[in-house]
Amino acid sequence: MTFLDGISNAEVFREIEREMRAWIGDDSSGHDLDHAWRVFNVGVKISEQEDADIEVVGAAVLTHDIHRSMGEEGEYTPPEDSLSAVRSVLEATAFPDKKIPDVLHCVAVHEEYEFDGGENPAETTEALVLQDADNLDAIGAVGIARNFAFTGVVGNRLWAPDTDEYSGLGHFDDKLLHLKDEMNTEAARAVAEERHAFLVEFAERFTEEWYGEQ
């Protein structure tokens, strides 16, 4: 089964993907188009349960990480600074102009987290869905793989215990283990519980192996 099976207006999503290849086609940090399509798949499922606009969610999912390809190497560009680029991508396709502002809102707020002081200012169901679908791909087995892929790309160590140095396992405590409690929808919460449990199990086993206890 492909991600677009049974999706109405599937061609516009293919057009958006083609445009996005120029932006993130060579990404190896875990924010690539494979990530986008996984989030798309989950986003569609949540949208169906939450009565969200699948067209808006789908377009937002496919464009939400364009900010990762912007700015100088090693510098972080916040999502809200990528909105003109997102608009240009969508305007190059058959995506409805009247829905572009809704997509831009989704993209702008998708990385807001209450655990680090953010206000989670999602004002639409579609923005809530994107947050959930994106956060779900950051936890569980795939989320762990993405985390360590990113760790390698940015040159961090797997773990740096007893230091302030940022590391792959350190990112669990800094972010990943908080995401379960950030979920907005019931559908996402159910999935997050299981994926969170896997994160906890992995972190415990990693620590044991690090110190030769397993």
Distance CA 150, CA 136 (A): 16
Q: What is the pLDDT of residues 187-212, one digit of tens each?
A: 999 999 999 999 999 999 999 999 99
Range of the domain at 23: 10-210
What is the number of structural domains in the chain? Answer: 1
> What does pTM read for this prediction?
0.94
DSSP for 25-93, please give it: TT--SS-SHHHHHHHHHHHHHHHHHHT--HHHHHHHHHHTTGGGG-SSTT----GGGGHHHHHHHHHTT
Q: Phi-psi bin for 57: left (phi > 0), alpha (psi -120 to 50), beta?
A: alpha
Domain-located, residue 3: no
What do you get for the CA distance between the two ends of the chain, in Å?
39
Judge whether residue 8 has pLDDT over 90. Answer: no
- Looking up residue 90, the CATH number of its domain turns out to be 1.10.3210.50
Nearest to 22 by CA among 66, 52, 54: 66
Domain-located, residue 5: no
> Please, which residues have CB within 8 angstroms of residue 184's CB and are 6 or more apart in sequence?
122, 128, 129, 131, 132
Domain-located, residue 37: yes
Domain-located, residue 17: yes
Average pLDDT over residues 82-91: 98
Average pLDDT over residues 35-43: 96
Domain-located, residue 153: yes
Which class for 96: exposed (0-12), middle (13-18), buried (19 or more C-beta within 10 A)? middle
H or E stretch covering 190: helix 186-210
Domain-located, residue 41: yes
Q: What is the pLDDT of residues 125-170, one digit of tens each?
A: 999 999 999 999 999 999 999 999 999 999 999 999 999 999 999 9
Longest CA–CA span in the chain (Å) reads 58
Domain-located, residue 163: yes
Tokens of 38: 């996984």
Domain-located, residue 150: yes
